[in-house]
């Protein structure tokens, strides 16, 4: 996210991150080198070249490769729309890094089971059909925070509170998404709970700190985590690291010390990554 802000920043704007260790283990599961090898393998078997669709939770090298190959970045909220854009143009999609988000979107798009394939981190291509007819190729990455939820958690929530609405993030396993009442991005979950109104009861399958924030913002709803699952990386950005970051700006402006911690993306990577981020915005806003 911080890299994306730096990629899209205007000249003269500086982007900082409070803690450089606040990465994403799922983003670590693919590099541009891995993706280039996977795309080269797909080029050898597909009639039309696969186009990369890369989840926002990825590093700048992946976004740059995506732009170089004519693809687009996506978020959990617009992934279906971005994938549909390329499928409608007759292009197979190479989706990374989150396999679960890719499967859940493919199902929402009605893509046949035998045209969806999984690409292992060793380069293996697995699926029930003939890969040369494949439409969706999913990199084998996942979010360990969201894969902790199970269909059993959904059943247990319904037993605890009959009539409860279960809503989960699409980074969850597709069996969990199928068992739930609803699935949505972080923003989608927020909006569903807001619109649910006072007295509504929710079991929420996403990162636990977000569920806690929802419960404090909407105390007149019954809000519980589907299971308590924390992201330790997201929690690294806290008031202390944010305060240190902001204080460094003040010191820097008065000629003091350096900025804590400025994000810099190499210019060539930045140009191609900006292309894939801007294409996402053009697709979601209907400009292409
Ligand atoms: S919850 Fe944590 S591990 Fe999962 S996608 Fe978000 S940052 Fe990455």
The DSSP line for 145-211 is: TTTT--HHHHHHHHHHSTTPEEEE-TTS-HHHHHHSSEE--HHHHHHHHHHH-TT-EEEEES-HHHH
145 Cβ below 6 A of ligand 1: yes
Give how far Cα 213 sits from Cα of 76, 210, 221, 258, Å.
20, 5, 12, 33
Kindly report the protein residue whose alpha carbon is nearest to atom 7 of ligand 1: 24
Percent of the chain with pLDDT over 90: 97
Substitution candidate for ligand 1 out of 149, 185, 231, 235 with most atoms within 8 A of CB: 231
Residue 105, both tokens: 């979107």
What is the pLDDT, as a whole number, of residue 146? 98
Give how far Cα 3 sits from Cα of 6, 16, 62, 169, 265, Å.
5, 9, 11, 23, 7
207 Cβ below 6 A of ligand 1: yes
208 Cβ below 6 A of ligand 1: no
Mean pLDDT, residues 117-129: 96
143 Cβ below 6 A of ligand 1: yes
What is the pLDDT, as a whole number, of residue 27? 98
Domains and CATH numbers, the chain: 24-143+267-284 (3.40.50.10800), 151-225 (3.40.50.10800)
In the three-class reduction of DSSP (H, G, I as helix; E, B as strand; rest coil), residue 106 is classed as helix
User: How many Cα neighbours within 13 Å face the side chain of 272?
Assistant: 18
Q: What is the pLDDT of residues 85-119, one digit of tens each?
A: 999 999 999 999 999 999 999 999 999 999 999 99
Mean pLDDT, residues 52-59: 98
- 252 CA → ligand 1 middle, Å: 32
22 Cβ below 6 A of ligand 1: no
Is pLDDT above 90 for 255?
no
Q: What is the pLDDT of residues 134-187, one digit of tens each?
A: 999 999 999 999 999 999 999 999 999 999 999 999 999 999 999 999 999 999
Contacts of 229-232 with C-beta under 8 Å, sequence gap 24+, read: 229/145, 229/146, 229/148, 229/149, 230/145, 231/145, 231/207
231 Cβ below 6 A of ligand 1: yes
What is the pLDDT, as a whole number, of residue 280? 98
* pLDDT band per the 50, 70, 90 thresholds, residue 257: confident
The residue to which tokens 């996210």 are assigned: 1
With residues binned 3-state (H G I as helix, E B as strand, rest as coil), the percentages for the chain, rounded to 5, are 45, 15, 40
* pLDDT band per the 50, 70, 90 thresholds, residue 256: confident
In the three-class reduction of DSSP (H, G, I as helix; E, B as strand; rest coil), residue 268 is classed as helix
What is the pLDDT, as a whole number, of residue 99? 98
- 47 CA → ligand 1 middle, Å: 35
165 Cβ below 6 A of ligand 1: no
């Amino acid at each position: 996210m911080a890299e994306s802000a730096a990629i899209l920043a205007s000249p003269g704007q500086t982007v900082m991150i409070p803690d450089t260790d606040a990465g994403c283990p799922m983003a670590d599961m693919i590099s541009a080198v891995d993706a280039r090898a996977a795309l080269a393998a797909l080029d050898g078997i597909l009639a039309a070249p696969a186009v990369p669709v890369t989840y926002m939770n990825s590093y700048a090298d992946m976004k740059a490769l995506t732009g170089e190959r004519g693809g687009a970045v996506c978020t959990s909220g617009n992934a279906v729309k971005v994938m549909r854009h390329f499928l409608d143009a007759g292009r197979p999609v190479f989706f990374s890094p989150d396999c679960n988000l890719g499967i859940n979107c493919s199902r929402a798009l009605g893509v046949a089971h035998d045209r969806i394939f999984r690409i292992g981190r060793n380069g293996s291509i697995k699926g029930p059909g003939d890969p040369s007819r494949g439409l969706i190729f999913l990199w084998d990455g996942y979010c360990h925070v969201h894969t902790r939820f199970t269909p059993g958690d959904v059943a247990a929530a319904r037993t605890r509170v009959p009539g409860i609405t279960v809503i989960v993030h699409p980074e969850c396993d597709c069996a969990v998404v199928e068992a739930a009442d609803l699935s949505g991005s972080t923003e989608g979950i927020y909006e569903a709970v807001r619109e649910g109104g006072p007295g509504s009861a929710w079991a929420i399958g996403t990162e636990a700190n977000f569920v806690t924030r929802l419960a404090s913002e909407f105390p007149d709803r019954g809000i519980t985590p589907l299971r308590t699952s924390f992201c330790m990386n997201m929690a690294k950005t806290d008031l202390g690291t944010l305060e240190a970051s902001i204080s460094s700006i003040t010191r820097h402006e008065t000629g003091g010390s350096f900025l804590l911690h400025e994000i810099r993306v190499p210019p060539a990577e930045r140009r191609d990554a900006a292309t894939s981020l801007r294409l996402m915005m053009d697709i979601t806003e209907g400009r292409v």
